[in-house]
């Protein structure tokens, strides 16, 4: 181990920054965030750097570095491209026992800047010892996705009760078990859901020995259109902690595999006129599982509030007093259109977009056709494959031009994506010609013609 990781307390301490350019500004931002007072020395200093120094009553010295600048400082940053100068600064600082960082010169450093994940008061630092800083930043980016921003609030909450818990549990092992339960249970989940006061109340009750509530919780999570990379950070976190997963037919297998390995998985998929589990039964199942104290993940393709029946499900949960969270997902319209290279709106072609379901609750398709005929409007039909001939006929009959561009997007955003473009006049024929199957999205509008220029993702198969 070339460097021992330590965290340096710089609050109200003087730090010397030699250099006035962009690199010095980047280092100074971190120092300012840590509460340091800056002494900046350089013949030319950027205005932003001057403002940071002035904000904490620091110094700005418009001249060359002098050895006397080291007096009284706790840390030295050499952010200059003058090689003889930064070698001199390093030698003089280390001779005085002052930690020194020389930018892009690891051999001259006694301390180095890590890549930082800031969830104050929780801080994660990653370093390669200066050998591969880009790799350290890439690892930081991965960790950023694993740690929700609310972890800082959770750490702050724990800080406020740390002494009280220490008094309650003198034994270190007991405290460890207590905090592990807090950080992996309902207290943490309340904080992550933005309910800080509720989290504090639950922690206070836990400390007071009040029995926790026996109800579980339901997570209504949008899984997006298929590509696992389109999941949100919150969706991934809840997927990893749920005890039971109820998932639909449209949820990609690769996404289901991201759920907790030991979670019970229940398939409740639905197809047109063929429901593996009726909707009302799904609603009741969510309630009963939550009443058993389980954390239940209701995983739905796309977004649960856009033709996903999410509203019906949480109505049932609310009626029974079951706690729930809703995590939006990228709906098929935006996800599939983006991967097909079809912008849903465009100043030259479409000033509005309308999402339409291909069939209603009773299986009919009694749509307000006269409202769907504007040439400046993009139409996106969900679940419209079976009724596509009728949809095209009705749009043309009510005034939409038969030559209006239209597209079919099958299994959008996945490696099996296929895109077929035509017009309202021949779109239905493409279904039979190319054996198009669900899940398929239908897009109607002038924006479809932009695909020829903007298509960037084709999946495993060529498009037509």
Annotated binding residue 306:
yes
Report how far apart, in Å, the C-alpha atoms of 401 and of each of 222, 323, 375, 394 are.
35, 49, 8, 11
Long-range contacts of 416-420 (CB under 8 A, 24+ apart): 416/459, 416/460, 416/461, 417/336, 417/339, 417/340, 417/457, 417/458, 417/459, 417/460, 417/461, 418/459, 418/461, 418/463, 419/340, 419/451, 419/455, 419/458, 419/463, 419/464, 420/463, 420/464
Annotated binding residue 406:
no
Q: Tell me: the pLDDT tens digits for 359-372?
A: 654 555 678 999 99
The sheet with strand 440-444 has its strands ordered as 352-357, 377-382, 440-444, 405-410, 418-423
Annotated binding residue 412:
yes
Q: What is the pLDDT of residue 149?
A: 84
Report whether 20 contacts 42 (CB < 8 A).
yes
Q: What is the pLDDT of residue 22?
A: 94
Crossing angle of helices 47-55 and 22-33, rounded to 10° = 20
User: If you search the block for the tokens 């006035």, which residue do you land on?
Assistant: 20
Task: Give the gyration radius of the chain's Cα atoms.
Answer: 29
Report how far apart, in Å, the C-alpha atoms of 363 and of each of 302, 355, 388, 395, 462 are.
21, 18, 14, 19, 33
First-to-final CA distance of the chain = 56
Q: What is the pLDDT of residue 42?
A: 96
Residues serving a catalytic function are 248, 270
Annotated binding residue 302:
yes
User: If you search the block for the tokens 């600064």, which residue do you land on?
Assistant: 89
The DSSP symbol for 211 reads P
Q: For the purposes of burial, counting CB atoms within 10 Å of the CB of 139, is it exposed (0-12), middle (13-18) or buried (19 or more)?
A: middle
User: 347-383 burial string, b = 16+ CB within 10 Å, else e?
Assistant: eebbeebbbbebbeeeeebebebeebbbeebbbbbbb
Residue 377 has which token pair? 């409007």
Give the closest residue to 217 by CA, choosing from 305, 321, 315, 304.
321
List all residues 6 or more positions away from 147 whose beta carbon is below 8 Å from its beta carbon: 117, 119, 122, 124
Annotated binding residue 383:
yes
User: 321-343 burial string, b = 16+ CB within 10 Å, else e?
Assistant: ebbbbbbbbbbbbbbbbbbbbbb
Q: What is the pLDDT of residue 462?
A: 47
Q: Tell me: the pLDDT tens digits for 117-176?
A: 998 888 999 998 888 889 998 999 888 888 888 899 999 999 999 999 999 888 887 888
- ∠ at Cα 220 (233, 186), nearest 5°? 75
Pairing mode of beta strands 244-247, 295-300: parallel
Q: How many CB atoms lie within 10 A of CB 173?
A: 8
List all residues 6 or more positions away from 23 whose beta carbon is below 8 Å from its beta carbon: 79, 103
Annotated binding residue 43:
yes
pLDDT tens by residue, the chain, 464 residues: 788 888 999 999 999 999 999 999 999 999 999 999 999 999 999 999 999 999 999 999 999 999 999 999 999 999 988 889 999 999 999 999 999 999 989 899 999 999 999 988 889 999 988 888 899 989 998 888 888 888 999 999 999 999 999 998 888 878 887 898 899 888 998 998 889 999 999 999 989 886 555 678 999 999 999 999 999 989 998 998 898 999 998 899 999 999 988 899 999 986 555 556 899 999 999 999 999 988 899 999 999 999 989 999 999 999 999 999 999 999 999 999 999 999 999 999 999 999 999 865 455 567 899 999 999 999 999 999 989 999 999 999 999 999 999 999 999 999 999 999 999 999 999 998 999 998 999 999 999 999 999 999 976 444 56
Annotated binding residue 403:
no
The sheet with strand 14-18 has its strands ordered as 59-61, 37-41, 14-18, 75-78, 100-102
Annotated binding residue 225:
yes
Annotated binding residue 373:
no
Give the closest residue to 162 by CA, choosing from 185, 179, 181, 149.
179
Residue 388 has which token pair? 């596509």
Cα–Cα distance measured from residue 439 to residue 271, given in angstroms and rounded to the nearest whole number: 10
How many residues make up the chain in this entry?
A: 464
Give the closest residue to 301 by CA, choosing from 417, 244, 358, 220.
220
Q: What is the pLDDT of residue 180?
A: 81
């Amino acid at each position: 181990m070339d460097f021992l990781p330590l965290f340096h307390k710089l609050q109200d301490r003087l730090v010397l920054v030699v250099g006035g350019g962009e690199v010095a500004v980047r280092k100074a931002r971190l120092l300012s965030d840590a509460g340091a007072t800056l002494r900046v020395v350089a013949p030319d200093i950027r205005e932003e750097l001057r403002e940071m120094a002035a904000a904490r009553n620091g110094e700005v010295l418009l001249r060359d570095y002098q050895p006397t600048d080291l007096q009284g400082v706790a840390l030295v940053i050499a952010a200059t491209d003058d090689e003889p100068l930064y070698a001199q600064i390093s030698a003089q600082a280390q001779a005085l026992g002052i930690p020194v960082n020389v930018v892009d010169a690891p051999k001259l450093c006694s301390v180095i800047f890590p890549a930082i994940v800031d969830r104050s008061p929780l801080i994660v630092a990653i370093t390669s010892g200066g050998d591969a800083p880009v790799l350290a930043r890439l690892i930081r980016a991965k960790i950023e996705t694993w740690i929700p921003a609310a972890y800082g609030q959770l750490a702050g909450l724990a800080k406020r009760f740390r002494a009280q818990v220490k008094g309650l549990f003198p034994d270190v092992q007991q405290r460890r078990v207590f905090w592990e339960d807090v950080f992996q249970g309902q207290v943490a989940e309340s904080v992550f859901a933005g309910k800080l006061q509720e989290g504090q109340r639950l922690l206070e009750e836990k400390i007071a020995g009040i029995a926790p509530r026996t109800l579980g919780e339901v997570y209504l999570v949008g899984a997006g259109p298929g590509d696992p990379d389109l999941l949100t950070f919150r969706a991934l976190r809840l997927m990893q902690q749920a005890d039971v997963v109820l998932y639909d037919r449209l949820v990609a297998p690769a996404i289901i595999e991201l759920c907790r390995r030991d979670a019970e998985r229940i398939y409740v998929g639905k197809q047109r006129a063929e429901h593996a589990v009726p909707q009302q039964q799904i609603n009741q199942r969510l309630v009963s599982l939550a009443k058993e104290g389980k954390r239940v993940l209701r995983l739905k393709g796309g977004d649960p509030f856009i033709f996903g029946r999410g509203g019906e499900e949480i109505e049932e949960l609310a009626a029974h007093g079951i706690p729930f969270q809703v995590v939006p997902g990228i709906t098929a319209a935006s996800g599939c259109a983006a991967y097909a290279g079809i912008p849903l709106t465009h100043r030259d072609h479409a000033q509005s977009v309308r999402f339409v379901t291909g069939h209603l609750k009773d299986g009919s398709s009694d749509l307000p056709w006269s409202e769907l005929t504007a040439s400046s409007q993009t139409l996106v039909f969900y679940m419209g494959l079976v009724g596509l001939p009728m949809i095209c006929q009705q749009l043309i009959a009510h005034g939409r031009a038969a030559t209006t561009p239209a597209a079919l997007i099958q299994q959008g955003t996945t490696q099996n994506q296929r895109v077929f473009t035509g017009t309202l006049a021949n779109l239905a024929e493409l279904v039979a010609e190319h054996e198009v199957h669900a899940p398929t999205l239908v897009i109607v509008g002038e924006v479809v013609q932009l695909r020829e220029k903007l298509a960037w993702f084709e999946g495993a198969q060529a498009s037509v």
